[in-house]
Structure 1
Amino acid sequence: MLALLLPLLVLCRISFCQYSSDQCSWRGSGLTHEGHARDVEQVYLRCSQGSLEWLYPTGAIIVNLRTNTVSPAAAAARLSVCIKPFANSRGTNIYLDRNGKLRLLLREELQARGRVQCFDIREGALFIEAVTHLDISRRITSFQYELVSGRLGPDGHSLDAPCQPCSNPDILLAVCTSDFVARGSIKKVEQEEEHSSVTVEIGHLYRQKAKVFVSGGVRTRSWSGRIKMPLRCRVKSGEGDFLFTGTVRFGEAWMGCAPRYKEFLRLYHDAREKGTNPCHVDTD
């Protein structure tokens, strides 16, 4: 099959996107390919996150993900792309296309599982090829995508030793740059099929991107939620307060640095006396 696809990139008739689209998301229909099953559409997306929905896929589309920064080459050197298929996604195989060389990223039968797949943005564009079916009426390929800073493995986890304890500078920087920062305690740790889920109760929420922690009400002044970690990290419950930091991907919180709060306070005050704090944090 791969040998058949390579000539397709050269010989097929390349056409421009004819469907509804904006800079972040795209929605189209393969029915416009009727009679031209070997057409390849070019799609360009230039946002940090968005979605794609391809109804009744025929032929193929090439999805070019770009940054909207002034210096795209410099930004691309630090970016990974993560895609998460929706539960009903089917009808295509998804490849990475780099200068005409294809690498399989997601087969049709695996998309419905919704597993996140990540790759370096410099690896190329997404080549999404329709799988031949007699009935395409129920075939829709759809997924979310996000551009993430840092180097991520195919499973969406950091390649920079995600299970190792953070250094002192790492902790101080995480407080300034993470998608969420919260002081709280661990209530429960559950080992699920592909990750660990840490149930936390938050007493002080410094900030959060998206509502990953839910308020317990005006009177309680507390929040609760779940933070995920790679299964290989073998996280365990611990008593006392922690400072939780991390990233939010596809609306889910993933753990970054999580020092004990007393340890963070010691680091923070020492750095403040030396004038080396990367940012101010209200510790009162």
Structure 2
Amino acid sequence: MALRCSFLHNLRTLRTARVAVLVIFACLVARTASETVTADECDWTGSGPSESGVTSVYLRCTEGRVTWKHPRGALLVLLRLPNPVSAAAQFRACVRPLKGSGGTTIWLQKRASLKKMFPEVRVKRGVAPPLECALSENGQVALFVETEAGAPDTDLSFQYHLEQLPSSGRFDPEKECKPCSEEELATAFCTSDLVARGRIVKTAENFVLKQTTLSVRATKTLRTLQGDDELENSIQAPVDDKTFHVVVGQHCDARQGDGEFVFMARRKLGDLTLTCAPRLEDWVRLSRRLNRVGASECILTA
């Protein structure tokens, strides 16, 4: 097995990429059976390789971070929902590298094979980091992170976010484009990281990430960001005290429009992701009515 697994660092000697993937996967399955498992709920931080070269990390959380200092060898990261409705519950996992250098590769295990997600985890200051998503199989997403011999000794860090799928197990990208219902609006207001009134002043398309960024000139902040104040390079931080950026899937065809809206957004993988955006006049009527009958978890303001 030691001889066969030496191919992990000599993939160029294999004739085809398909053979390389199968060899890596065969070695991974055989070697991780006896590896010491490192477990945590949301985040993992480690350094260097385990004694046999592969460290297994089990994470049960909807979002978190993996930080690998002085990476050497390989990681097997298994992502699972914290409290799934059933053992068969499926989810969508999105991964975004925060920092790293050449010589590190992230593979996604799919149907007994490995698919390369990011050819090289290289994140530069001022450049939006890559983002890739995958559907779970048998209730988990397995990531295999490998370093090559002679790679620079640079820390590697990436974020992940899990979103449970409906009972059908299918991801519907159009769902995030549909207008929010009254119940969804009330919930989004009370649970969002940022709720602000404002006007869209600019839109920008990112064809690599398949996202549209909305630049919003705020007229009134209703709820502010909560949590860690430290912003990674990937976070779309406000450019000043009155303008902020929110992202939405490019397939939603979001465009600049007239009028004032109430933007409700959650922080996801470093971005403020738009959840709901009712027109101000509609939100004023709805919030007053829901407050009057006590139909929300918090006091709704406008």
TM-score range, shorter chain: 0.7 to 0.9
Q: Which residue of 1 aligns with 2:142?
A: 125
Question: Quick one: percent identity of the two aligned structures?
Answer: 23
How far apart are residue 244 of structure 1 and its match?
0.2
TM-score, normalised relative to structure 2: 0.69
Distance 2:77 2:285 in 1: 48
Question: For each residue in 1:125-184, what CA deviation from the matched residue of structure 2 results, as whole angstroms up to 9, or x when unmatched?
Answer: 3222344x4x23x165723223344449xxxx9735222222333222221222221112
Does 1:73 pair with 2:92? no
How far apart are residue 50 of structure 1 and its match?
2.1
Distance 2:202 2:246 in 1: 11
Given candidates 195, 212, 217, the residue that maps to 1:201 is: 217
Does 1:29 pair with 2:44? no
Q: Which residue of 2 aligns with 1:225?
A: 244
RMSD: 3.5
Does 1:262 pair with 2:281? yes
Q: What runs of 5+ residues in structure 1 fail to find an aligned partner?
A: 217-222
Q: Which residue of 1 aligns with 2:232?
A: none
Give 1:96-115 correspondences, 5 Å limit.
96-97=108-109, 101-109=112-120, 112=123, 114-115=129-130
Q: Which residue of 2 aligns with 1:50?
A: 65
Distance 2:296 2:42 in 1: 37
- Checking the alignment, whether the CA contact within 8 Å between 2:222 and 2:301 is kept in structure 1 is no
Q: Which residue of 2 aligns with 1:183?
A: 197
State the number of aligned residues. 258
Counterpart amino acid of 1:181?
A: V
Given candidates 247, 258, 274, the residue that maps to 2:266 is: 247
Q: Give 3-state SS (helix, strand or coil) of 1:86's partner.
A: strand
Given candidates 33, 41, 46, the residue that maps to 2:55 is: 41
Distance 2:185 2:29 in 1: 49
Q: Which residue of 2 aligns with 1:279?
A: 298
Counterpart amino acid of 2:289?
A: D
- Checking the alignment, whether the CA contact within 8 Å between 1:150 and 1:158 is kept in structure 2 is no
Q: Which residue of 2 aligns with 1:163?
A: 177
Given candidates 87, 91, 96, the residue that maps to 2:103 is: 91
TM-score, normalised relative to structure 1: 0.73
Distance 2:245 2:295 in 1: 32
Q: What runs of 5+ residues in structure 2 fail to find an aligned partner?
A: 1-19, 230-236
